[in-house]
Structure 1
Amino acid sequence: MDGLWPAEDRTGPLGLAVSGGPDSLAMLLLAAAVMPGEIAVMSVDHSLRKEAAQEVALVEAVCAHLDVPFMPVKVRVGAGNLQAKAREARYRALGEWAMELDLGAVATAHQMDDAAETLMMRLARGSGLAGLAGVRAYSHVPAFEDVPLIRPLLSFRKAELESVVASSGITPARDPSNEDVNFDRVRVRRHLAEHDWLDAQALAASAQHLSESWRALEWYAQLDWEEMVSRADTDDGGLGGAPQYRYYCNVPRAIQVETVCRIVSELGGRVTRSEAGVAADRLWRGENASLGGVLARASVEKVAKVGVNMRVWRFSPEPPRRTH
């Protein structure tokens, strides 16, 4: 905790997301031991299983024993990918709770085996560097950029956490979905267990290296944004006062993709990294591109302060389509 979330950076208590499973219960027990009086707990019932209410009650009982503030929340999971929608609803509840209580950060109980499984799953999907960076030790709660999200258990194996809970005399909850082979993660977990040459610790270390690489790329992308992108509120393409972004592009493709995504977002559009990559390839070849409701035009011009020709990409909202 000292390295991940130093005391001098803390602005409020640490909120723990505790499900009643062994990993999150271990996080609660460890946090109560090292940060007494500085934690609070939320337990989320996704309204997907009848056992969920009992699991929330288990967490409440443990918190009462440890004298830790507790908040139960019931959420509704939207249609679509069940695990993804449940995660989205859970993080939304955590973010709202953190803002309401002025928590300094929120912690989840992801551990080393989780990091290894996530890396394997994303490798199988052909994920880019952002995806392969996997379970990050420090980020922010999705859609709540002011709420830090930390994962203090990434150096623990699952078996270690199980032993922490067992030594306390608590019987943790067991989510049956963790044994359901219809989920990719369960199949990956079983594969890792069956092949000892796939070492979870080594895979988690690789994920950490990838995460550090991703942070370096984010840093460079921020520099690219600050130095090579400018905004003008007039447009030379007949769009009146619509905003336009000008991007002097002279960086590796991975940085281009991040900057294009950010420009499209600033103009109110939404685009995936894959779509931004296709657009960047077209622009690099001198072709125009359309993405996320934004029109991108490619040109080359001489930059006075450096005296060389550079690729210049201009981005504006797409004009409304004519209807007859």
Structure 2
Amino acid sequence: MSHPSASELTGRLPGAVLERFQRGLNRVWAGAAESGVESARFVIAVSGGPDSMALLALAAVSCSGRIVAVTVDHELRPESRAEAAMVADACAALSVPHATLTPGRPIAGSSLQARAREARYAAIEAWAAKQGLALVLTAHHADDQAETLLMRLNRASGLAGLAGIRASQPMGDMVLLRPVLDWRRSELRAVVEAAGLPWVEDPSNMDSRHDRSRIRALLGGAPELDPVRLAASAKYLGDAETVIERLVQRLWDEHWRGPGQPFDVQRELREVRRRLIRRAILATRETLAVTEPPFGAGANVEPLLDALEAGSAAVQGGVKVDAVGGGWVFTAAPPRRPL
């Protein structure tokens, strides 16, 4: 099968579509790097699906000479090698450098999609670092955002989770940029069809064993649920998340003095206290070399907050927290007495 060249794409894609993509790229670009967007170099994550192939077409015209494409072959399906080769052939016709990456070890176990996603980003980050690149474009769109919001609502996620997919997101040593986050899946399909590029459908997208597939089917059968409006709600929640995080950072900078010193934030709203107490436990563990029991940034700290509100001391994550007059005091928890 012959593939179009970059010059042929320019004639096939409407100017309004290219202008819309450039506006989206400019929006997500803000603060991502010191250089101007006109001179930036990008890595494009291209799976071979219609969304990422549409992104490839848009970027090949708008960012000509400044993009490289990567495809991560998870080796989970017999067809994956041929699909990566298809992307490579399309990129060659567009004069876009391309690399196929494979995970360092086989992906197995439960939550296969989540494990594959983690392995994919890890592989891209490692490869991009070797190339001296840090900006990665992905083709997440409004339908993805709506699905993510509904999935996280169903899991009783807090505000940070409900903020959904961010248009610009640091991840390790790279920054993920999502310039088509306000596009519909159908609009990207129209782009790839107009471009004349091939694509493949991943059968796992229709596998009802996966949460996202079930939510996608739910949305497809409920026209009264508008993915664009749901995605807009996620953006508003993301804006609120940014405001709260800035407040939390300011209070942290003003009041945290380290383990053993009063942390005077007990009069803040509970959501703010929730975030600050997690930070304080993590900082105390790091300073005092506390490693057990495990404790993560998303740990449930509600019982701990309840105890502190009642004026009682409590222990979590190997850290003892005392409610004193001047604030909370964080120290290493005493060792447990043998039974």
TM (normalized to structure 2)? 0.83
**Match for residue 237 of structure 2 among 207, 210, 214:** 210
2:145 aligned with 1:115, yes or no?
A: yes
What displacement does 1:80 show? 2.6
2:162 aligned with 1:126, yes or no?
A: no
2:256 aligned with 1:247, yes or no?
A: no
What displacement does 1:246 show? 3.6
| Matching residue's letter, 1:5 | W
What displacement does 1:85 show? 0.8
CA distance 1:245–1:10, shift in 2 (3 Å): farther
Within 5 Å, give how 1:1-324 maps onto structure 2: 1-6=25-30, 9-10=34-35, 13-75=41-103, 76-141=106-171, 144=172, 146-231=173-258, 243-244=259-260, 246-249=262-265, 250-266=267-283, 267-268=285-286, 270-301=295-326, 312-323=327-338
Residues 160 and 241, structure 2, Cα contact 8 Å, conserved in 1? yes
**For residue 9 of structure 2, what is the aligned residue in structure 1?**
none
Distance in 2, Cα, partners of 1:172 & 1:212: 34
What displacement does 1:87 show? 1.0
Matched-pair identity in %? 39
**For residue 306 of structure 1, what is the aligned residue in structure 2?**
none
Structure 1, residues 247-291: CA drift from partner, whole Å, max 9, x if none? 111211111111122222222362353522332232222122222
What displacement does 1:8 show? 6.5
Distance in 1, Cα, partners of 2:46 & 2:191: 15
Q: Which moved more, 1:285-294 or 1:28-37?
A: 285-294
CA distance 1:103–1:244, shift in 2 (3 Å): farther
Residues 257 and 273, structure 1, Cα contact 8 Å, conserved in 2? no
Partner of 2:225, secondary structure, is: coil
Q: How many residues end up aligned between the 2 structures?
A: 300
| Matching residue's letter, 1:297 | D
Distance in 1, Cα, partners of 2:271 & 2:66: 41
Structure 1, residues 98-137: CA drift from partner, whole Å, max 9, x if none? 2222213112111000001111111111111011000111
| Matching residue's letter, 1:280 | L
Q: Which has the higher contact order (CA 8 A, sep 6+)?
A: 2
What displacement does 1:170 show? 2.1
Structure 1, residues 204-254: CA drift from partner, whole Å, max 9, x if none? 1101100111111111110111012112xxxxxxxxxxx545411121111
| Matching residue's letter, 2:139 | A
Distance in 2, Cα, partners of 1:38 & 1:130: 33
Partner of 1:230, secondary structure, is: coil
Q: Which has the higher strand share?
A: 1
Alpha-carbon RMSD: 1.9
Residues 245 and 263, structure 1, Cα contact 8 Å, conserved in 2? no
| Matching residue's letter, 2:29 | W
Residues 27 and 179, structure 2, Cα contact 8 Å, conserved in 1? no
CA distance 1:320–1:274, shift in 2 (3 Å): closer
Distance in 2, Cα, partners of 1:36 & 1:140: 24
CA distance 1:318–1:78, shift in 2 (3 Å): farther
| Matching residue's letter, 2:73 | D
Distance in 2, Cα, partners of 1:245 & 1:193: 54
Residues 73 and 102, structure 2, Cα contact 8 Å, conserved in 1? yes
Residues 142 and 182, structure 2, Cα contact 8 Å, conserved in 1? yes
